[in-house]
Amino acid sequence: MREFLFYFFAALTVVPGLFVAISRNPVNAAMNMILSFIGLAALFVMLESYFLAILQVLVYAGAIVVLFLFIIMLIDAERAPKSGWLTSLAAVAALALMVTGLLTLLYSGESGTFAVAGETAPAALSQTFGVELFTRYLLPFQVTGFMLLMAMVGVIVISRKDAAEDKGGEA
């Protein structure tokens, strides 16, 4: 039963993930992304990391993809154009590299331990999660926050500049 559920949810994560990449309709892609996130959350549940699972749904499926949809609808994104031969070539090359990487990792014996379904993951409790985040992983956490801030400021600067130029042109 457990094994069946694992494969089911793993498929629910990976297959929609593929559709996110290849579907031409942006709304389809966003919907598949939600499915994929829900599958991932279910995998977290199987690892008994309920907190992480709920956060996955709450933050990614519940907020981030809503934002994606908002943007898709606001800028009225058209169907993605058919990709040229260069893009296809790049995609094939990337896929080959990924598969090679995965196989090397699997057979070199240096991949370390895999997560085992059924064992309680260390970040199951919200408290453990918070303490680890603010002690051991404080630097990556802060750096991520800083990068997001940079992206945000960048967007504001770029959009402001355009608005100012428009005004200058009219006046």
Residues that bind other proteins (CB under 8 A): 27, 31, 34, 50-51, 54-55, 57-58, 61-63, 66-67, 69-70, 73-74, 126-127
Q: Which is nearer to other proteins, 67 or 89 (CB)?
A: 67
Q: Which is nearer to other proteins, 101 or 145 (CB)?
A: 145
In the bound complex, what is the minimum distance in angstroms from residue 106's beta carbon to other proteins?
34
Q: Which is nearer to other proteins, 2 or 89 (CB)?
A: 2
Q: Are 124 and 50 in contact (CB under 8 A)?
A: yes
In the bound complex, what is the minimum distance in angstroms from residue 69's beta carbon to other proteins?
5
In the bound complex, what is the minimum distance in angstroms from residue 33's beta carbon to other proteins?
11
Q: Which is nearer to other proteins, 65 or 113 (CB)?
A: 65
One-character DSSP codes across the chain: -HHHHHHHHHHHHHHHHHHHHH-SSHHHHHHHHHHHHHHHHHHHHHTT-HHHHHHIIIIIIIIIHHHHHHHHHHTTPPPPPPP-HHHHHHHHHHHHHHHHHHHHHHHHS-S-PPP-TTSPPTT-SHHHHHHHHHTTTHHHHHHHHHHHHHHHHHHHHHHHHHHHHHHHHH-
- Give the helix/strand (H/E) hosting 58: none
Q: Which is nearer to other proteins, 74 or 171 (CB)?
A: 74
In the bound complex, what is the minimum distance in angstroms from residue 129's beta carbon to other proteins?
11
Q: How far is it, in rounded angstroms, from Cα 171 to Cα 159?
A: 19
In the bound complex, what is the minimum distance in angstroms from residue 96's beta carbon to other proteins?
34
